[in-house]
Amino acid sequence: MVGQRLGGRYQLEERIGGGGMAIVYKAKDLLLHRPVAVKVLRPQFGTDEDFVNRFRREAQAVASLSHPNVVSVYDVGQDEDTHYMVMEYIEGPTLKDVINQIGALPVEEAVRIAVQVCDALDHAHQNKIIHRDIKPHNILIGKNGRVKVTDFGIARAVTAATITHTNSVMGSVHYFSPEQARGGVTAEKSDIYSLGIVLYEMVTGQLPFSGDSPITVALKHLQDPLTDPRQINPSIPQSVENIILKALAKDPFLRYASARDMLSDLETCLSPERRNEPKIQFPVDDEMTRVIPAITEEMLEQAQWEKEGIRRTQGESDDEEESSGRKRWWWKAAAWVGAIGLFFVLALFGMNLVQGIFDVPEVNVPHVEGAPVENAIAMLKEKNLVPQVEEEYSNTVAKGLVISQDPAPPMRVKENATVKLVVSLGKQSIKMPDLKNQNRSVAETTLKQYGFTVDDNTFIEQENDDVPAGVVISQDPPAEQPVVPSETDVKVYISKGKQFVDMPNLVGDTLEEAKVKLYQRGLTVGKVSREPTYMTEEKDIVISTFPFEPNMKVQSGAAIDLTVSSGSYPADAKFAAAPITINLIPGETAKIRFVVDDARGETQLPEETLTESKEYQVPVVLSPTKNAKVTVYKDGNKVQTYSIDYNSLP
């Protein structure tokens, strides 16, 4: 459909996305001269009343919302059998594109995105709209960093009963809530669960539940325990993990009561006093249903056989015990007395042995933080302590120095205890990521992910005829070069698109002069045509340009057509001479000047000084639309005007 015009107004330019029921195009609104996104219902659904109604319901749902984090709907219509919806165009990647590009996002960036999505959901829920398909694919990241929620394709008012339709469950299975997987009633808390999955994926780089089939994944949402995010990414603050765990509770009653409650939690989760808060705990249901194996006929027979065997054994042994019991009681008593005596002997020996083993002297742990690792190890060994060295990169501690120790002074420990030393590897050097051909927003997110400083001087815009606007042309340092992010000043050159120049004014120039001016501006000469003109009798003087006029913005490399004079007047031109007499008093001196206004335009003749009277024949050129007029100025004052009418001439 690219190139097609819908509703006589929206020119489809390129396909930018699509789903199961619709395709999304970038288009131009020819009336308002702005880019828009047009969602077009797939042709096979155009005659399906249910799909058409669902498509219209999406437009109605989004049109009822007005929020900076929700993609706006501008128009909805039908062009013959094509149903379409016109929306705000967001230039930038989806959140899924960003995650696929760089993996786990920095926690601060993930929380920033989640806050905006949660704010959008709170607004939708207050307007009785449930999104029901929250996933990274439906979250757009604009060039300015603003988050926009889109695709309310399966949204429905809160009063609707379920999300089931023709025995199928709609939405995206990896982001389902358990109640969606069951095909049950959908409420606001389903959106909260889906946002929890999105936040989990942003901070860990992976989905909590996956499988070989949609049914497998849906069952995991219902049954499988969640792997804590901090097990995958230990750098996640406990406060952020608590939000994810609460949003992903399988019991909706244990989740946030509303998107507003979750938003309030997100807005404060990165404050210093909350980052290390206790892990959230959920109540345990002792009456939960347990799986008990079915009792089979074979199991009943085995149990009966074992019961009868026990009875027979007891009957035979009763007689024997009665006859020999009196003989054994004395031996049993003697054995018990001997065992008790042996126990006390061994206990006394063991206490002495244990006391000798555990009576280990205590020593003060020396302070070794900031010391060279060799010195730190020597100081610990001097105290009969065992150093355990671990290494990690540090932007603040020089290579080979101890970053931290555990335990640390003023603690006292037993000799031969282990002291953990974290030793600096220095600043981490990485290979400079390749940003070329990425969108600006993706490039900026990538730089932040690797720890580079991004400010107003990082991105530099340049005009470029080959690279689309908003895309990286080049970078410094180049890709793959080893760099330390905290010490590297990165320059990223972004395309502004094709270069535009000002169209020069060529009218009145000779053809050769015009060619030089066009060449200097990066423009070329197109078609050259010659025509008679009233402007001049000289040949090859530029009369007009096409298709651009002077001072218009012209794309570099454009061809400019020139119309130049042929060296003759048009066939309908008429020629005359205006007879003018200048009378002077004897001895008078005057400065005389003529201004001619005719088909050639307005021309001022050279000024002349007279000392006596004189007669002039001033030549003029007339056209059917332009008469001639000659104005006489004496000593700067207008004294006479002589007019000639075109129709008065033969």
CA-based nearest residue to 146, from 95, 194, 96 = 95
Q: 251: part of which helix (H) or strand (E)?
A: none
Q: Is the pLDDT of residue 626 over 70?
A: yes
Q: How far is CA 64 from CA 130, 134, 282, 558, in A?
A: 12, 18, 37, 46
CB neighbour list of residue 121: distance below 8 Å, 6 or more residues apart = 131, 134, 149, 188, 191, 192, 195, 259
Q: Is the pLDDT of residue 299 over 60?
A: no
Classify residue 472 by burial, with Cβ atoms within 10 Å: 0-12, 13-18, 19+.
buried
Residue with tokens 């031969």: 416
Q: Among 232-241, 335-344, 452-461, 529-538, whose mean pLDDT is lowest?
A: 335-344
Name the pairing type of β-strands 386-392 and 418-424. parallel
Q: How far is CA 361 from CA 364, 384, 385, 410, 415, in A?
A: 10, 10, 12, 16, 6
Q: What is the mean pLDDT of the chain?
A: 83
Question: Tokens for 450?
Answer: 């690797």
Classified as helix, coil or strand, 195 is helix
Q: How far apart are CA 627 and CA 570, in angstroms?
A: 15
| pLDDT tens-digit series, residues 488-518 | 999 999 998 777 888 999 999 999 999 999 9
Q: Is the pLDDT of residue 352 over 70?
A: no
Whether residue 195 contacts residue 247, with contact meaning beta carbons closer than 8 Å, is answered with: yes
Task: Output the pLDDT for position 28.
Answer: 92
Task: Output the pLDDT for position 542.
Answer: 94
Q: What's the mean pLDDT in 69-79?
A: 87
Per-state percent for the chain, helix, strand, coil, to nearest 5: 30, 30, 40
Q: How far apart are CA 358 and CA 579, in angstroms?
A: 136
Q: How far apart are CA 28 and CA 13, in angstroms?
A: 7
Active-site amino acid positions: 133
Task: Output the pLDDT for position 27.
Answer: 93
Buried-exposed string 286-308: b where 16+ CB fall within 10 A, e elsewhere: eeeeeeeeeeeeeeeeeeeeeee
Instruction: Quote the crossing angle between the two packed helices 259-268 and 107-126, to the nearest 10°.
Output: 160
Half-sphere exposure of 271 (CA within 13 A, CB side): 8
Task: Output the pLDDT for position 294.
Answer: 35
Classified as helix, coil or strand, 371 is coil
Task: Output the pLDDT for position 16.
Answer: 85
- The CA-to-CA distance between both ends of the chain, in Å, stands at 63
Q: How far apart are CA 126 and CA 548, in angstroms?
A: 53
CA-based nearest residue to 160, from 54, 48, 64 = 54
CA-based nearest residue to 255, from 171, 196, 186, 184 = 196
CA-based nearest residue to 184, from 196, 171, 195 = 171
Q: 157: part of which helix (H) or strand (E)?
A: strand 156-157
Whether residue 400 contacts residue 423, with contact meaning beta carbons closer than 8 Å, is answered with: yes
Residue 496 is which amino acid? Answer: K
Q: What's the mean pLDDT in 277-284?
A: 85
DSSP class per residue in 543-560? EEEES--TT-EEETT-EE
Task: Output the pLDDT for position 314.
Answer: 46
Facing residues of 41 across strands? 22
Q: Which residue has the higher pLDDT, 12 or 59?
A: 12
Classified as helix, coil or strand, 33 is coil
Q: Is the pLDDT of residue 291 over 70?
A: no
Question: Which CATH architecture does the domain made up of 5-88 adopt?
Answer: 2-Layer Sandwich (3.30)
| pLDDT tens-digit series, residues 28-64 | 998 888 999 999 888 777 777 777 777 777 677 777 7
Q: Which residue has the higher pLDDT, 331 or 550?
A: 550
Q: Among 57-61, 227-231, 328-332, 550-554, whose mean pLDDT is lowest?
A: 328-332
| pLDDT tens-digit series, residues 90-120 | 988 999 989 988 889 999 999 999 999 999 9
Question: Tokens for 611?
Answer: 């000392």
pTM of the model: 0.46
Third-level CATH fold of 500-566: Trypsin Inhibitor V; Chain A (3.30.10)
Task: Output the pLDDT for position 559.
Answer: 93
Third-level CATH fold of 95-268: Transferase(Phosphotransferase); domain 1 (1.10.510)
Q: How far apart are CA 301 and CA 289, in angstroms?
A: 28
CB neighbour list of residue 530: distance below 8 Å, 6 or more residues apart = 539, 540, 563, 564, 565, 566
Q: How far is CA 509 from CA 89, 535, 537, 564, in A?
A: 45, 12, 14, 9
Q: Is the pLDDT of residue 150 over 80?
A: yes
Residue with tokens 């280990």: 360
Task: Output the pLDDT for position 256.
Answer: 94
CATH pick for 362-424 out of 3.30.10.20, 3.30.450.40, 3.30.465.10, 3.40.190.150 = 3.30.10.20
| pLDDT tens-digit series, residues 260-277 | 999 999 999 999 889 889
Third-level CATH fold of 574-648: Immunoglobulin-like (2.60.40)
Task: Output the pLDDT for position 179.
Answer: 85
529: Cα separation from own chain's centroid: 52
Q: What's the mean pLDDT in 586-609?
A: 93
Q: Is the pLDDT of residue 307 over 50?
A: no
204: Cα separation from own chain's centroid: 18
Question: Tokens for 420?
Answer: 């953990």
Whether residue 55 contacts residue 41, with contact meaning beta carbons closer than 8 Å, is answered with: yes
Cis check: omega of the bond before 485, within 30 degrees of 0 = no
| pLDDT tens-digit series, residues 564-580 | 999 999 999 999 999 99
Task: Output the pLDDT for position 359.
Answer: 57
CATH 3.30.10.20 fits 430-495, yes or no: yes
Q: How far apart are CA 545 and CA 558, in angstroms?
A: 13
Instruction: Report DSSP state, residue 491.
Output: E
CA-based nearest residue to 112, from 67, 75, 149, 145 = 145
User: By percentage, how much of the chain surpasses pLDDT 70?
Assistant: 84
**What are the residue ranges spanned by the domains of the chain?**
5-88, 95-268, 362-424, 430-495, 500-566, 574-648
Whether residue 534 contacts residue 570, with contact meaning beta carbons closer than 8 Å, is answered with: yes
Q: What's the mean pLDDT in 164-183?
A: 64
Given this chain, do its domains 5-88 and 95-268 carry the same CATH topology? no
